[in-house]
Amino acid sequence: MWYWECFTPHPPIVIPEVGRGREREAEQTIRGFAGLRRLTGSNIPDFILLLSPHAPFGGGITFSSAERYEGDFSMFGAPVPKYGFGGAVEQARAFAEKLSEEFPVFMAEKHHMTLDHGALVPLASLFGEKEAGSVKLVLANPIGLTPEQSYGLGQALAGIEDTASWGLVSSGDLSHRVSPDAPAGYSPAGAPFDKKVTEAFKKNTALELLSLSPREIEDAGECGLRSALIFLGLGKDRGTRLLSYEAPFGVGYAVAYASLHAAPDLARSVISRFFEKEGDSHVKEAERFLRFPELRKKSACFISLKKSGDLRGCIGTIFPRSGSLAMEICENAIAAAFHDPRFPPLSRGELDTVSISVDILSTTEQITGIEELNPSKYGVVVEKNGARGVLLPDLEGVETVEQQLSIAARKAGITTLQGALISRFSVLRVREAGRI
């Protein structure tokens, strides 16, 4: 399943070792990347599909599959740091086979492949040198697709079912001809092109981009239109957000994000409907959101509301009580907003000031030793004499296993862990696309 997607530029200057101070000239882009890290950092998927217009190309959409991808910024005067990523050869083959039914697909396989800046800038900005080792890639170049094919391919990706988790990184700069100081020269088509792309990200619509004439596209001197259209196709009917845009060197740099999980949208919707005093509104909302396949399964979840960074409500279940995740979200969202005993009920005026995140829990598993715990990766359940304390993973200020267990036990009134049953669980934490 798809966790999230993002659209990013690829200017090497934003890498500090390359910029050497000049990266501050692209400050908005750096802030956009920082926003992406906050939105995606808790949900690093099993695999990344990375689209780059500078990757090897053989026609149509070209998949370049390797067992190992590596790269650095030596050609920009920065041989360190070096980055290494695992390849996902079987997954690349599966994508190519499935998409070839509708689109021109080319496949190239190598044992080892060197990444250029089109791939490496977004990867280095999102994951960093230390996290790179846990990321597995499928690399593709969509530059041979028409705009219509690009948008359709994004929609086709949305329909591919996979039990593994995925993220899409669509790399591409916008117009290279925005201002007279642009390296590719100035074109009056540059700025209007960029405006259409950024508006498409804000409104999540591809209509204006699909209506661009070949001359308009050529005059803009872009390299990211197809990546942008695939981003919009995959994110159709989802919440998208433009995080930043600037053109500091006459080249347009846009950063955008979309959550590809409908959980937070459902939580906000059911809270909003609650104010309308409709007794069965949560049931109707659950049924309406069942069109999203990720909400049909049976799962426990926690709903968290934050206001100005502070907790404003949090209620959840560690075992599912409803027949679908959609209904579980609805019931827990209402409880978190209106029935958390630590806070007054949420007012209608506060709804637009809070951010909502949904933690979707895996099945709990009993541990045999605390070495099996990791507070950044696993939540814990501490049970003793009928009392039960729960603590979610990856919480600010909780750095050690001892802290995590102590807080969970204290929440349940458990004074000593001797004789306690300890279980762990993992979560998928999904935040709203419009709120970091």
Domains of the chain: 2-259 (3.40.830.10), 263-431 (3.30.700.20)
Residues in Cβ contact with 390 at an 8 Å cutoff, skipping those fewer than 6 apart = 316, 318, 379, 380, 381, 382, 408, 411
Token pair listed for 109: 């396989």
How many angstroms from the chain centroid is the CA of residue 204?
Answer: 16
d(CA 34, CA 21): 17
- Give the pLDDT confidence score for residue 435 in this predicted structure: 58
Residue 55 has pLDDT above 70, yes or no: yes
Q: Is 90 exceeded by the pLDDT of residue 135?
A: no
User: pLDDT band for position 97 (50/70/90)?
Assistant: very high
pLDDT for the residue 405: 97
Q: How far apart are CA 169 and CA 51, in angstroms?
A: 6
CA distance 403 to 315: 21
Q: Is this prediction's pTM over 0.85?
A: no
pLDDT digits (tens, 9 = 90+) for 188-244: 999 999 999 999 999 999 999 999 999 999 999 999 999 999 999 999 988 899 999
**Strand 379-384 vs strand 421-425: parallel, antiparallel, or unpaired?**
antiparallel
What's the pLDDT score for residue 41? 78
Query: Residue ranges of the alpha helices (H) in 70-213?
Result: 89-99, 117-131, 147-158, 190-203, 207-210
| Predicted confidence (pLDDT) at residue 128 exceeds the cutoff of 80 | no
- Rounded to whole angstroms, the Cα distance separating 273 from 384 reads 39
| Mean of all residue pLDDT scores within the chain | 93
Least confident of 41-45, 79-83, 108-112, 208-212: 41-45
**Averaged pLDDT, 79-85:** 91
